[in-house]
Structure formats: C-alpha cells, structure tokens
Homo-oligomer: A and B are copies of this chain.
Amino acid sequence: MFASSTYTERRRELAARLDSGLVLLLGNADSPMNYAANIYPFRQDSSFLYYCGLDLPDLAAAIDIDTGETVIFGDELTIDHIVWMGDQPTLVDQAAEVGVAATRPRADLATVVRQAVSTGRDVHLLPPYRADNHRLLKDILSAEPVPSRALIEAVVAQRSIKSDEEIAEIEQAVDLSVDMHVAAMRMVRPGLRESDVAAEVERIAHAANSRPSFPPIATVHGEILHNLHHHNTMQSGDLFLLDTGAESPLHYAGDLSSTFPVDPVFTERQKIMYELALASHEAALATVKPGVPNTDTHYNAVRAIVDGMKELGLMKGDTDVAMAVGAHAMFMPCGVGHMMGLDVHDMEDLGEQLVGWNGAPKSTQFGLKSLRLGRELEPGFVLTIEPGIYFIPKLIDLWRAENRHRDFLVYEEIDKWRDFGGIRNEEDVLVTTDGKRVLGKPKPKTVAEIEALRAG
C-alpha cells in the first residue's frame, strides 16, 4: 500500500469537502460462485481502497467529519481462520499502516450508524453496487439506503485527479498490459483458439500476482463489443481483436485494445480499414488536453471515421449533419473512452453523470449514450482513447430494413464489408498541464510495427 500519510491526507481532504456528519465506506465481502464458500477472487471496493487501503474482505470504515476521527470495523482472526487461511497481522496493526488508530468489531458498525442517525446526524453513503452491501445498509438503516450526493461529488473530485504515486501505479498496470498484448500478437496463427490467447494473457497477469482489470475480450469477432466468449478457432484472413488489461499491485487498472491479423501480414482490405481506424484513434489522441470537453475527443474520432467512410464510398452527405443525426453510430455505436483509475471504468459505481459529465444530462442518442466521459478535461485525469470501427451484421440489417440514415449510409457498399468484423485501438492517457502523455511503454499500433513484430 501507499504510505500511511497518503490515506490520512485523502481522508482529511474528504472531510474538508463535506460539512458535517459521518461518512460510511463499506469494503467488499467475498463473492460466492456456486455456494457461499466457493468464492471468486476477492476484489476490494475501490473507494474503500482509496481512503483506507486495506485489501481484505468484511471491513468498513466510518469517518467522522466533525471530529476527523476514522474507525475501521472488522473482526480479528480466530485459530480456525488461521488454520484454513494462514496467519496475518492483526487488524489493529493493519489499520495503523493506513493511519487509523481506532478499530472496532464489525458488529459495532450498526450501533455506530444507528446512533448517528438517532442523533440527527447526516450519514453519508455511496451507492451500493453489490447486493450484500445493499442488504447490510438496508438492515442497519431499516430503510432503503439513499446515497449522499455531497459525498459522491467529493469522492469524484478527489479520485478524478491522479497523484504522481497513482500515475506510477497506473503505468505499472499499463506496462503489464502491454506485455499481454505483445504476447498475443506474437502467438496468433490460423488453427489456434481464441481461448488460447485469452488464457495466455490471463496467465501473464496472474503470474505477476496481478489479474485482469476486466474480463478479457479476445476474439475474431471484434464487432461484438463486449464479446466474452472464446470458442472460435482462428482462420487465415481473420482479424483478431484483443481488449485486455491488468491491475497494478494496488489495484489500479490498465486497459488496452489491439487489432491484428491472424496471418503474419494484413491483407490490403484489412490495411485500408485498419488505417482508417488508426487515423480516428490518432485524431482523438491529438485532441486531448486540459480545457477541452471530451465530447470533442469523441467527435474528432467520429469525424475521421465519417470522412474516411465517405472516401471509401460507405457514407455520403455532409459530415457534420451525419454526425449530428448519429449516422456514424452504424460503425461506432460506442463512446471514445472513459476515466480509468482504481476502476477500469473509474468510479462507474458512483454514477456516470457525475463522474463523466460533471452532472450535466447525457445524450440518449444511440452511440453517444455510451460515451462515458464527456466533461471538460483537467490535468490529472487519466482516460482511455478507444474509438473503433465495427461491422455488425444485425445492426446493418436492422437499420437497412428501417431505411435509417439513408442520406448518409450507402447500404449497398456497407454490405460488402458486413463480415469484416471490428477494429479497435486503445491507449491510456494522462492529461498533463499542457497536453497529454500516453501512459506505459509503447505498444505496436501501426501496420508496419505490428508486421515487424510478427516477422521478428
């Protein structure tokens, strides 16, 4: 973990941003797979990690805004636990590591919260995204838990600006993520299964005592945006799309995407569409700097795609109008990127509108509604840049049947690409005081770089 002063300072700043009351931060419990004791790998809640650093299940913290005192709630280990799970430092010692002097048994949590409620104090809660924590809050409060907007805004304000030590963690995660991508680029070949690649990139993360920051996408059907199945066998002529990243030791995320041919070189057709997708990626990257609304990043990526599609004859008409009505969403039905930090979609549990839009209402237009980050960029933000081009047969058929955007979409030409698949490049970017910095070591992304790696 970071030095105890990091956590103490974060909690002090949080308290300073709020007027009064008690902030309640729930850590996560273990998640059952098929029965209570058969558990998924433990993942701590990210806000709990941010303010309290302890990476163990069944903890909670109360930060008293008025006194500045923090209490960590949890139970010490029994001998049964030690026999089964091994010894570890006492909770008292662990709490001291994150600058917290007071610990109490977990059973006291309800008492403390109820006492605060009964004396009319504000109890500030974050929105529970796990059913067990939702139930815990409901049981303690005897009412549906109501998240505190003041707390959410304070947490978002703090967690949005990454400190140098956080950036170092993120770069560590990105570097490991690059290793995963390079290994995949080297291994693909006709006859291999998607699962071989997915398994290998997970192996690289696990071997480093890390883990994927989200379930890997490793597919010859890149047009399926969140395809989590890995059952296909690679064929000559396929494009392979990999979207995967690892966590740093302190659980900061990396998140990268690459697209590369299963064969050693791109076909001419693949090269044409890949270079268009890459141009869109570079247009988005070039937009990133402080003061720019990230909707600009999105639209610059989209503009490159629309202009390119017009050159290829798949679109027609006025680019601005096509973008305004959302015709481009045929090819890019998603957003250009999202915040990244302790969560791969950073703070998504706190609500996209406050995190990504500064409270402003989001568009409901197909495509744009999936843009997770639209607000003005500030130094210290870390975000992904990941525009893509997708040929989704079901969407082509649906829109064509509806005659949707006929003035902009040339369905007869689009249909010639209907089985092409999907392309996405993704990098992780820090907004600096005067521009941006792409995080982590370089990952091959031009056609020449990818083909050189494959030849090497």
Give A contacts to B, CB under 8 Å: 28, 31-41, 43-46, 79, 82-87, 129-132, 134-135, 193, 195-196, 198-200, 202-209, 214-215, 221, 224-231, 333, 342-345, 347-349, 392, 394-395, 398
Contact of A85 among B31, B224, B347 (CB under 8 A): B224
Q: Which residues of B contact A392 (CB under 8 A)?
A: 82-83
The answer to whether A349 and B226 touch across the interface, beta carbons within 8 angstroms, is: no
The answer to whether A345 and B33 touch across the interface, beta carbons within 8 angstroms, is: no
Q: Which residues of B contact A38 (CB under 8 A)?
A: 214, 343-345, 348
Q: A79-B395, A203-B203 are in contact. List 7 more A-B contacts (CB 8 A).
A: A34-B45, A35-B343, A36-B348, A37-B345, A39-B215, A41-B228, A195-B206
Contact of A348 among B37, B206, B208 (CB under 8 A): B37
Q: Which residues of B contact A395 (CB under 8 A)?
A: 79, 82-83
Known: A38-B345, A349-B34. A199 touches B207 (CB 8 A): yes
Q: How many monomers of this chain does the complex have?
A: 2
The answer to whether B193 and A87 touch across the interface, beta carbons within 8 angstroms, is: no
Q: Which residues of B contact A394 (CB under 8 A)?
A: 79, 82-83, 87
Q: Which residues of B contact A35 (CB under 8 A)?
A: 129, 343, 345, 347-349
A51 to chain B, nearest CB (A): 15
Q: Which residues of B contact A196 (CB under 8 A)?
A: 207
Contact of A34 among B79, B132, B343 (CB under 8 A): B343
Q: Which residues of B contact A135 (CB under 8 A)?
A: 131, 134-135
A373 to chain B, nearest CB (A): 15
**Chain A to chain B: the 3 pairs with minimum beta-carbon distance, closest first:** A199-B206, A131-B131, A131-B132
A303 to chain B, nearest CB (A): 22
Contact of A227 among B85, B200, B203, B344 (CB under 8 A): B85
Q: Which residues of B contact A349 (CB under 8 A)?
A: 34-36
Known: A32-B130, A35-B348, A38-B348. A206 touches B202 (CB 8 A): yes
Of the A-B pairs whose beta carbons lie under 8 Å apart in the complex, a sample of 23, sorted by A's number, is A28-B34, A31-B31, A33-B43, A34-B349, A35-B345, A35-B348, A36-B348, A38-B345, A41-B228, A79-B395, A82-B394, A83-B225, A83-B394, A84-B224, A85-B224, A85-B228, A87-B394, A195-B209, A196-B207, A199-B205, A202-B203, A202-B206, A206-B230
The answer to whether B86 and A221 touch across the interface, beta carbons within 8 angstroms, is: yes
A349's nearest neighbour on chain B, judged by CB, is B35
Q: Which residues of B contact A208 (CB under 8 A)?
A: 195
Complex CA–CA separation, A130 to B37 (angstroms): 11
Known: A34-B343, A131-B135, A135-B131. A193 touches B215 (CB 8 A): no
Contact of A43 among B34, B200, B206 (CB under 8 A): B34
The answer to whether A225 and B31 touch across the interface, beta carbons within 8 angstroms, is: no
Chain B CB within 10 Å — which of A31, A33, A398 has the most?
A33
Complex CA–CA separation, A135 to B214 (angstroms): 26
A339 to chain B, nearest CB (A): 12
